[in-house]
A and B are shown apart, each in its own frame.
Chain A
Amino acid sequence: MDLWTIIIISIIKILFVVTITLLTVSYLVYFERKISAWVQDRIGPNRVGWYGLLQPFADVFKLFLKEDIVPDASIKSIHTLAPIITLFVAFSTYAVLPWGPPVNIFGYEIPLVLADVNSGILIVLALTSLGVYGITFSGWASGSKYSLLGGVRSSAQMISYEISMGFSVAGVLLISESLRPAAIIESQSGWMWNAFIQPIGFITFLVSAFAETNRLPFDLPEAEPELVGGYHTEYSSMKFAAFFLAEYANMIISSGLIVTLYLGGWQVPYIETFGLSSGWVTMMQIGAFFFKVGAVLFFFIWVRWSIPRFKYNQLMNLGWKVMFPLALVNLVWVAILVMLLN
Chain B
Amino acid sequence: MIEQYIPLFLVLATAVLIAVGIVASSTLIGPQRPNDEKKSTYESGVKPFGSAKERISIKYYVVAMLFIIFDLEVIFVYPWAVQFKSLYSVFGIPVFTTMLVFLVIFEIGYLYAYKKGGFNWE
A residues touching B (Cβ–Cβ < 8 Å)?
A: 3, 6-7, 10-11, 13-14, 18, 63-73, 80, 83-88, 91-92, 95-96, 114-118, 122-123, 142-148, 152, 155-156, 159-160, 162-163, 166-167, 170-171, 173-174, 177-179, 228, 233-234, 236-239, 241-242, 245, 312-313, 316-317, 320-321, 324, 328, 331-332, 335-336, 338-339, 342
CA distance A65 to B51 in the complex (A): 31
Query: What are 23 pairs between A and B in contact, CB < 8 Å?
Result: A3-B6, A14-B7, A64-B30, A66-B30, A67-B32, A68-B27, A73-B48, A73-B52, A88-B16, A88-B19, A123-B8, A155-B60, A162-B67, A163-B74, A167-B77, A173-B82, A178-B82, A228-B44, A239-B26, A316-B121, A324-B70, A324-B110, A331-B81
Given contact pairs A64-B25, A142-B52, A160 touches B84 in the complex (Cβ within 8 A): no
| CA A122 to CA B96, docked complex, whole Å | 23
Q: Assess whether A7 is in contact with B6, with CB atoms less than 8 Å apart.
A: yes
For B32, B75, B121, the residue with the greatest tally of chain A CB atoms inside 10 Å of its CB is B121
B residues with CB within 8 A of A: 3-8, 10-12, 14-16, 18-20, 22-23, 25-27, 29-34, 38-44, 48, 50-52, 54, 56, 59-60, 63-64, 66-67, 70-71, 74-75, 77-78, 81-86, 88-89, 93, 96, 99-100, 103, 107, 110, 114, 119-122
A87 near B82: Cβ-Cβ < 8 Å:
no
The residue among A13, A18, A148, A320 with the most chain B CB atoms within 10 A of its own CB is A320
Distance in Å: Cβ of A143 to nearest Cβ of chain B:
5
Contact B85 A338 (CB under 8 A): yes
On chain A, the residues within 8 Å of B78 by CB distance are 122, 170, 173, 179
**Chain A hits for B114, CB < 8 A:** 321
- Docked Cα-Cα span, A123 to B78, in Å, equals 13
Chain A contacts for B26, CB-based, 8 A: 63-64, 66, 68, 236-239, 241
A177-B82 contact given A10-B7, A91-B18, A313-B121, CB 8 Å threshold: yes
Q: Give chain B's interface secondary structure class.
A: helix
Most buried by A among B29, B88, B107: B29
Verify A116–B4 contact, CB threshold 8 A. Answer: yes
- Whether B42 contacts A228 by the Cβ 8 Å rule is yes
**Complex interface: chain B residues within 8 A of A177 (CB):** 82-86
Instruction: Tell whether A234 pairs with B22 under 8 Å between CB atoms, given A316-B63, A320-B119.
Output: no
Once the chains are docked, how many angstroms separate the CA of A221 from the CA of B51?
20
Asked if residues B30 and A152 are in contact (CB atoms below 8 Å), the reply is no
**A116 proximity list for chain B (CB < 8 A):** 4, 7
Residue of B nearest to A81 (CB): B23
Which residues of chain A are within 8 angstroms of B7 by Cβ–Cβ distance?
A: 6, 10, 13-14, 95, 114-116
Report Cα–Cα, A171/B16, bound state, in Å: 33
User: B60–A87 contact, CB under 8 A?
Assistant: no
CB-based closest 10 A-B pairs? A238-B26, A313-B121, A87-B19, A166-B74, A92-B15, A115-B8, A10-B7, A237-B26, A95-B11, A173-B81
